[in-house]
Structure 1
Amino acid sequence: MTYRGAVLDLDGTVLRGGDLLPGARTGVAALREHTESVLFLTNNPTRPASDHAERLRDLGIEASADDVLTSADATVAYLRDRHADEPAFAIAESSIVDQLRAGDVSLTDDPGAAGVVVAGYDREFHFRDLQAALDAMDDDTAFVGTDPDRTIPGADGLEPGSGAIVHAVAGVTDREPDAVLGKPSETTARLAADRIGVPPEDCLLVGDRLETDVAMGDRAGMTTALVRTGVDGDDEVDASDRRPDFVLDSLGDVVELLG
């Protein structure tokens, strides 16, 4: 089949920790040869797109910042669109806060002054953060998560992700988020479609998670492929109502799908 564009997850699909996964270089090269545009789309909000692109280049895969879209980018776009005049209180590590600031999101260090609480990945998450969430949240305070990933693939196995922080804040405040960005959110799907510049029905999305990667591809009308190199595999596919169009051993096997 012929695809005009490709959307690739990073962690678990192209990378694991600081290393390329088997077949990744071959798969990316094939997609660049057979499509008009390749976009790397990640739910990792801790690095700006420029850093993700630099990491890919260091591993031998050409990429610019424009080739990468992150959940932090989607969070910034959502906040600027929906909460432009409301101070945001961030429960997230400094690298995410820095990206919000660089995106001209109004920030506050005072929970009581918050118009919106933003929860995301934080390796120093603490009891005091739960207290701050309680202090910040009232009926008029919006609640936004950077992405839904409760776990992320690490070099030595699964690690807690942003979703773990989002759910902790939701639990202590008895509030479900008003929006969770990253995949599979509509905001992220729209930004990805705008960035890649071809209709979704002409795109192939490749990822390692049914509930984020495959779900977003399904909703957007893309062809979806799940790779077995990350979180989900055959057991998860068999147990789920959500079915990718293809299941591949690795990104390198994407060559079998290209006309």
Structure 2
Amino acid sequence: MLTSPASALSAVYDLAMLDLDGVVYIGGSAVPGAAASIARAREDGMRIAFVTNNAARPPGRVAEHLRELEIEAQAQDVVTSAQAAARVLRDRFGAGARIAALGAEGLVEALAAAELEVVDVEADADAAVTGYGPDVRWRDIMRIATRIKGGLPWVASNTDGSIPTPYGEAPGHGVLVDTIARFSGVTPVVAGKPSPPLLQETIRRVGGKRPLMVGDRLDTDIEGGTAVGVDTLLVMTGVTGLDELLAAPSESRPTYLAADLSGLLVPHPEPEVTGAQTRVGGWVATVQGGSARLTGEGSAHDWWRALAHAAWAHLDATGTPVGGAGLEPPSPSAVPGGGSLPA
């Protein structure tokens, strides 16, 4: 169940590891209020790291995009799955190892920064690494796949099955990983979330004794944080929808839940359970006949917390998820204190 610290998370944790798409921005636009929430968290003493499974763009380009959205960011604040993959390869094969790379600029740059020699997919190599690259050629995919099948060690930057694009959801690097794995019979070492290397690399680079992983996905962000033993905050501005949240198994549930990134800046009140009712702040959630009902008023953060706590208690007791039909989450700006910056 959800944890309830007496203080704001920005006072409890010294590092916030923020997933990007769905948390900080959506496509080319910042999530409403994200820039102000990040700035306030920094004022409270929190270090901020921007963490992405996308291996295509170098950290400098990611930071430039964030600054365009009026979010303070430097290249050293950004950690990518390409950098995590490079660390895995450097640790295993040492500086100067020859790596056959299949991917985009971000992957090549990360390998070079780790003092690894990037070689063509046809050249002699100590290992292979793959990452998302929109211009990757099919003949290169075929060649790397045959070499992996022949025994060349393989590291994959991530296994995301889809990526957002201006023209809609599209296949991600995970589709290629699955194709190569089925052809070769080889399972790669994976650097990106939910595997540990990316978050381990983030903590190593940015520092922090009490890190918090913040994301919008249960399967990568929340499970990734759990895999490295850090607490997690799920924000409801990205891909996780109402039904997915209510049906989350215990191993995929976050430590904390908030409507958006302003959840870093406020206390998380403890749920009060009385019979079939769960009260959080001004909201009361009741589960009857397999459906949830909320009454009251208050912050958007507390609406989500009351609902999730009641739904998960029902799921754990009965094995049946609560239906979310008819429930309309309040807009963070529509409810007093919901998603707004505290004074």
TM more than 0.5:
yes
The answer to whether the Cα contact below 8 Å between 1:226 and 1:246 also exists between their aligned partners in 2 is: yes
The answer to whether the Cα contact below 8 Å between 2:34 and 2:261 also exists between their aligned partners in 1 is: yes
Q: CA 1:221/1:138 → structure 2, altered by over 3 Å: closer, same or farther?
A: closer
SS of the residue corresponding to residue 22 of structure 1 reads coil
Query: Which residue of the partner structure matches residue 322 of structure 2?
Result: none
The answer to whether the Cα contact below 8 Å between 1:45 and 1:146 also exists between their aligned partners in 2 is: yes
Q: CA 1:159/1:227 → structure 2, altered by over 3 Å: closer, same or farther?
A: farther
Query: Residue 49 of structure 1: CA displacement?
Result: 1.2
The answer to whether the Cα contact below 8 Å between 2:102 and 2:121 also exists between their aligned partners in 1 is: no
Query: Which residue of the partner structure matches residue 115 of structure 1?
Result: 126
Bigger RCO of structures 1 and 2 (CA < 8 A, at least 6 apart): 1
SS of the residue corresponding to residue 266 of structure 2 reads helix
Aligned: 1:214 with 2:225: no
Q: 1:29-54: CA deviations, max 9, x gaps?
A: 22212233111111111111111111
Q: Distance in 1 between matches of 2:229 and 2:238?
A: 23
Q: Relative to structure 2, which stretch is displaced further, 66-75 or 76-85?
A: 76-85
Query: Residue 9 of structure 1: CA displacement?
Result: 0.7
Query: Residue 26 of structure 1: CA displacement?
Result: 2.4
> Structure 1 stretches (4+) deviating beyond 6 angstroms?
none
1:134 to 145, 152, 159: 145
Q: Distance in 2 between matches of 1:208 and 1:160?
A: 19
Q: 1:138-171: CA deviations, max 9, x gaps?
A: 4541111011211123345422222222222112
SS of the residue corresponding to residue 153 of structure 1 reads strand
Q: Distance in 1 between matches of 2:152 and 2:124?
A: 10
Q: Distance in 2 between matches of 1:156 and 1:229?
A: 20
Q: What amino acid is aligned across from residue 67 of structure 1 in structure 2?
A: D
Q: 1:73-127: CA deviations, max 9, x gaps?
A: 1111111111235422222234433442343322222436233121110223443
Q: Distance in 2 between matches of 1:130 and 1:65?
A: 30
Query: Residue 131 of structure 1: CA displacement?
Result: 1.9
Query: Which residue of the partner structure matches residue 50 of structure 2?
Result: 40
Query: Which residue of the partner structure matches residue 67 of structure 1?
Result: 77
Query: Residue 55 of structure 1: CA displacement?
Result: 1.3
Q: Distance in 1 between matches of 2:13 and 2:56?
A: 30
1:159 to 159, 162, 170: 170
Q: What amino acid is aligned across from residue 237 of structure 1 in structure 2?
A: L
1:235 to 243, 250, 275: 243
Aligned residues: 256
Q: Distance in 2 between matches of 1:95 and 1:194?
A: 19
Aligned: 1:7 with 2:17: yes
Q: What amino acid is aligned across from residue 245 of structure 1 in structure 2?
A: T
Q: CA 1:245/1:218 → structure 2, altered by over 3 Å: closer, same or farther?
A: same
1:181 to 177, 184, 191: 191
Query: Residue 244 of structure 1: CA displacement?
Result: 0.8
Q: What amino acid is aligned across from residue 12 of structure 1 in structure 2?
A: G
Whose radius of gyration is greater, 1 or 2? 2
Q: 1:57-81: CA deviations, max 9, x gaps?
A: 1211111111111111111111111
Query: Residue 20 of structure 1: CA displacement?
Result: 0.6
Q: CA 1:138/1:131 → structure 2, altered by over 3 Å: closer, same or farther?
A: same
* TM-score, normalised via structure 1 length: 0.88
Structure 2, gaps ≥5 residues long: 1-6, 269-341
Which of the two has greater helix per residue? 1
Give the aligned CA root-mean-square deviation in angstroms.
Answer: 2.3
- Identity over aligned pairs, percent: 36
2:68 to 58, 76, 79: 58
Q: CA 1:24/1:186 → structure 2, altered by over 3 Å: closer, same or farther?
A: same
Query: Which residue of the partner structure matches residue 306 of structure 2?
Result: none
Q: What amino acid is aligned across from residue 108 of structure 1 in structure 2?
A: V
* TM-score, normalised via structure 2 length: 0.68
Q: Distance in 2 between matches of 1:207 and 1:59?
A: 19
Q: CA 1:197/1:107 → structure 2, altered by over 3 Å: closer, same or farther?
A: closer
Q: Relative to structure 2, which stretch is displaced further, 18-27 or 79-88?
A: 79-88
Query: Which residue of the partner structure matches residue 103 of structure 1?
Result: 114
Q: Distance in 2 between matches of 1:243 and 1:252?
A: 19
Query: Which residue of the partner structure matches residue 156 of structure 2?
Result: 145
The answer to whether the Cα contact below 8 Å between 2:17 and 2:48 also exists between their aligned partners in 1 is: yes
Q: What amino acid is aligned across from residue 103 of structure 2 in structure 1?
A: A
Q: Distance in 2 between matches of 1:97 and 1:66?
A: 17
Query: Which residue of the partner structure matches residue 332 of structure 2?
Result: none
